Amino acid sequence: MSNKKLVIEKKNDGNRMVLVIKGTIDQEAELKKVFSELSIPVIFDLEGIEMINSAGVREWVNAIAKLPTKTPFTLERCSPRIVEQLNYVEAFLGHGEVVSFFAPYFCPKCKVETTVLLEVKVMRKKSGKNPPPQNCAKCKNLLEFDDIEEEYFGFIQ
């Protein structure tokens, strides 16, 4: 249960802006102002998003719509909470592109839940909408994918 405030860290490496966004996106998230000031290619690092509520979805969609179409952007290291929105909310992605995301797995032997970072490009080439096999870091046994495949990977075209 997350009610951590939203934290946005900006890192400008000259040619592009990296926005690391962490915490909760809710009715108090003021994304529009931050996003509207972006004028160079942007990478959104979304690993730290723990919760996004319906008011937060509205904030996000309105803010993404404010990004000029000539400003390219990618979503990287998307947390499972972001993946859910990508699958169900039209306009959540805007004119952007998803590069990578975390997928939930479960080790039946260790009884431990974990997430694995997956690349969209690699999935498109190799496994499509099937979860790629992964091994437990501890016991090395095969992990089970811990969600509904057709729902979770639905956003991969």
Partner 1 sequence: MPNSERHSILILRPSREVLGLTKKIADQLGYPLVIARHGAEALRKAEKQPLRLFMFHIQDPVKDCALYLKIKKAWPNCEGLAFFSKSLLGDFPLFKARVYPDHLIPEKFPEEIPDLQVTMLKILSNDIFGIEKYGIKPKKVRLQSSLQKAGILEKIQAFYLSKKVPVRILQKAGLVLDELVMNAIFDAPVNGRGKRVYYGRKRDSVIGLKKHECPQIAYGFRKGVLALSVTDPFGTFEKSSFFSVIQRLRVKRSIKEGAGKGAGMGLFMTFRAVDELIVNVDPGKRTEFIALLRLKAPLGSHGQRSLHFFQCRSP
Residues that bind partner 1 (CB under 8 A): 1-3, 26-28, 50-55, 57-58, 61-62, 80-81, 84, 87-92, 104, 113, 144, 146-148, 151, 154
Instruction: State the nearest-atom distance from the C-beta of 40 to partner 1, in Å.
Output: 26
Contact yes or no for 12/43 (Cβ under 8 A): no
Min dist. Cβ of residue 50 to partner 1 (A): 6
Closer by beta carbon to partner 1, 16 or else 80: 80
DSSP helix/strand/coil, 134:
coil
17 vs 31, which CB is nearer to partner 1?
31
Q: Residue 84's closest CA among 71, 66, 99, 103?
A: 103
* Of 47 and 84, CB closest to partner 1: 84
- Closest by Cα among 87, 88, 137, 85 to 115: 137
Gap between the Cα atoms of 76 and 67, Å rounded: 17
Please give the span between the terminal C-alpha atoms of the chain, in angstroms, as a whole number.
31
Closest to partner 1 by CB, 91 or 137: 91
Contact status, residue 122 vs residue 114, Cβ threshold 8 Å:
no
Q: Which amino acid belongs to residue 65?
A: A
**Cβ 56 to partner 1, closest distance in Å?**
9
CB of 116 to partner 1, least distance (A): 14
